[in-house]
Structure 1
Amino acid sequence: MIYVGIDDTNNEESVGTAKFTRQVASKVAEKFRVYGVTRHQLAQNSEIDYSIHNFCAVIHVEADKSHLNTIFSIAKTEIMNNFNIGSDPGLATAHEDNISSSVVSFGLDAKYKVVKRDAAIKLARDSEIIIEGFGEAGNGVVGALAGVGLASTKNDGRFVQLGDLRKIKQPEPIQKFLKSGIDKVITVEGVIIEEGIIFNTDNKPVKPSPVNGEIVLFVEPVDNMFRAVNRD
């Protein structure tokens, strides 16, 4: 698996990190199989320059290491062609073999405290991870590398793109979701649900979470149905 981390693509005029990363994923998918796109929450601190929520996004690409540079190039071209003046996007691309415990620890640190751009660049280069910042400061490299580390654990964030989930119009039976890439449907109390109807607020696509290598959709009972719940 190759992970493509993207962060800090948004300002007041841009579409936002998650949507932009799905846009990049669509370009990557023209040549490689994209498994999905995950969103990962990072620290919200007054010392960090972020727009609204401070999260990064990661494209999961089913490809071997020999395609690393090509995938990076595709993503970089899309960023260069579309990012808005005033934003500071960062891009990190890594094969799973090069994501060490130090990279994972960096991602975990970025969820709870301020981490520095120079530390991200040094760690990436020491780990043979391709990394680059754009814009005036390129501070997005922090979130891009953090996202790569977090996504590799298969136990953080949530999918904003997975299989055909974005095409499902709700409400729909649980089995339809299970056939579209979700492994389990579980209540926030930890009860596995196998029958029933699932919906999401404002009919938005559901966003399941990777949990110990499985794809889990968390729900809560509402009016004899189950409402999807997001986990950060």
Structure 2
Amino acid sequence: MNRYLISFDDTDELNMPGTGHLLDGFLQTLSARCSFISRHQLFVHADVSYTSHNSAMCAQIDGGLSTEDLIGRAAAYLEQHSAPGADPGLCVADWGTMMQPELLVLWGYRAKREVLAKEDAYFLARQCGVHLSEHGGTGQGVVGALAAVGLRLAGQDGRVKGKRQLEQDRLTVRDLLRSTGFDRVCAYGLGELPPDAVICINGQPIKAVYQNFCATVLAVPERDQYRLLPKEQLKCF
């Protein structure tokens, strides 16, 4: 079975749907099984072109498409749906042919703290055997698209796009995971919680971060139960 990582970057404008919405829309056109989308925060700097937060989006696709077909369809979708003033970049990494993933991981972490060059992104993509292409404007989005793949490979960065709203005020870890489709619940800084641990929701939307290669809900201890980590504290991921 073919397995890919796909990422979009720099595809939107203010007051228009964001990059995560665009990647989600593309994934919905596919018959293959697609994972959650992870959002990766990159370096915010005056020399970096971005809309509001400089984030890039990545997802995993399993089966159903050849590499050439996936690239062609993604490129066409970007060119049709990206905002007129955007500089969209596309990265597609085939798990079967990708080389030196550790170099992609290093690129991803560099993109969180440095201004990087488009030419260097293309050089690294060729070295690692992944597809990288630009589809409008300056094409500077290739820098972030490559970084998102690297950070997804690292398994310890980013927030999962979307949220889940449950009616219950309190429920066990087992029921929370069954209802949301997320992978695990961890006490912030303490480790994974057992299935019978009780989580206090109190109407708060449930969001996850990408940690230890899993969609992870974070909670904090509160007497004999746990409560969700406040939304403001998730912004650091």
TM-score w.r.t. length of structure 2? 0.83
Does 2:178 match 1:181?
no
| CA distance, structure 2, for counterparts of residue 6 and residue 218 of structure 1 | 26
Q: Are the counterparts in 2 of residues 33 and 63 from structure 1 also a CA contact under 8 Å?
A: yes
Superimposed CA distance per residue, residues 99-124 of structure 1 (whole angstroms, 9 cap, x where no aligned partner): 52111111111011111111111211
How many angstroms does 1:214 deviate by?
3.2
Does 2:30 match 1:37?
no
Mapping of residues 99-138 of structure 1, within 5 Å? 99=99, 100-138=101-139
| CA distance, structure 2, for counterparts of residue 181 and residue 79 of structure 1 | 28
Q: Residue 52 of structure 2 aligns to a residue in which SS?
A: coil
| CA distance, structure 2, for counterparts of residue 178 and residue 90 of structure 1 | 34
CA RMSD of aligned residues (A): 2.4
How many angstroms does 1:222 deviate by?
7.4
| CA distance, structure 1, for counterparts of residue 202 and residue 66 of structure 2 | 38
Superimposed CA distance per residue, residues 44-90 of structure 1 (whole angstroms, 9 cap, x where no aligned partner): 112111111111000211138x7222222222222111111111110
The amino acid that maps onto 1:6 is F
How many angstroms does 1:200 deviate by?
6.5
Distance 1:70 1:176, change over 3 A: farther
Q: Are the counterparts in 2 of residues 13 and 84 from structure 1 also a CA contact under 8 Å?
A: no
Q: Residue 40 of structure 1 aligns to a residue in which SS?
A: strand
Does 2:82 match 1:80?
no
Instruction: Name the stretch that deviates more: 206-215 or 80-89.
Output: 206-215
| CA distance, structure 1, for counterparts of residue 40 and residue 115 of structure 2 | 15
The amino acid that maps onto 2:136 is G
Aligned equivalent of 1:2: 4
Mapping of residues 1-232 of structure 1, within 5 Å? 1-28=3-30, 31-63=31-63, 67-97=66-96, 98-99=98-99, 100-160=101-161, 166=163, 168-171=165-168, 173=171, 174-179=173-178, 180-190=180-190, 192-193=192-193, 194-198=197-201, 201=204, 203=205, 206-220=206-220, 226-229=227-230, 230=234, 232=237
Q: Residue 185 of structure 2 aligns to a residue in which SS?
A: strand
| CA distance, structure 2, for counterparts of residue 177 and residue 25 of structure 1 | 25
| CA distance, structure 2, for counterparts of residue 80 and residue 222 of structure 1 | 49
Structure 2: runs of 5 or more not aligned: none
Instruction: Name the stretch that deviates more: 185-194 or 100-109.
Output: 185-194
TM-score w.r.t. length of structure 1? 0.84
| CA distance, structure 2, for counterparts of residue 147 and residue 199 of structure 1 | 33
Q: Residue 57 of structure 1 aligns to a residue in which SS?
A: strand
> Which is greater in Rg?
2
| CA distance, structure 1, for counterparts of residue 228 and residue 112 of structure 2 | 27
Distance 1:200 1:141, change over 3 A: farther
**How many residue pairs end up in the alignment?**
222
| CA distance, structure 2, for counterparts of residue 213 and residue 191 of structure 1 | 14
The amino acid that maps onto 1:90 is G
Instruction: Name the stretch that deviates more: 49-58 or 187-196.
Output: 187-196
